[in-house]
Amino acid sequence: ELKVEQNPLFLSMQEGKNYTIYCNYSTTSDRLYWYRQDPGKSLESLFVLLSNGAVKQEGRLMASLDTKARLSTLHITAAVHDLSATYFCAVGELTSGSRLTFGEGTQLTVNP
């Protein structure tokens, strides 16, 4: 059974600071996703990572994937308040078709 673990689960940081959210998964995968969820809202796709060494950046967020270590990171650069949200990683198993398993989510709060 695929397990997906994120850490930290809660992150409070100051504006302007950098930080990294980690996503570990337990079995071989060929695709990893990062989503953002604002309180009371739906999930918004941020990044799709489909190969080892993939790196994608959008604004102050950068995601990377190391399939050998079964690890993805979401790096936040110079955080701003608007980044406050819950961030989920989701992993697809090689043999599971389109099924995704989601991590618990990291609740990020950026303080002024």
| Binding stretches for another protein (CB under 8 A) | 31, 33, 35, 41-45, 48, 50, 88, 96-105
- In whole angstroms, the minimum distance from the beta carbon of 86 to another protein comes to 10
- The edge-to-edge listing of strands for the beta sheet with 19-25 is 4-7, 19-25, 71-76, 61-66, 55-58
C-beta closer to another protein: residue 100 or 110: 100
C-beta closer to another protein: residue 33 or 79: 33
- In whole angstroms, the minimum distance from the beta carbon of 24 to another protein comes to 16
- In whole angstroms, the minimum distance from the beta carbon of 98 to another protein comes to 5
- Spell out the residues 6+ positions from residue 86 whose beta carbon is closer than 8 angstroms to its own: 36, 37, 38, 39, 105, 106, 107, 108
- In whole angstroms, the minimum distance from the beta carbon of 8 to another protein comes to 15
Distance from C-alpha of 112 to C-alpha of 69, rounded to nearest angstrom: 35
C-beta closer to another protein: residue 32 or 79: 32
Distance of CA 3 to the CA centre of its chain: 14
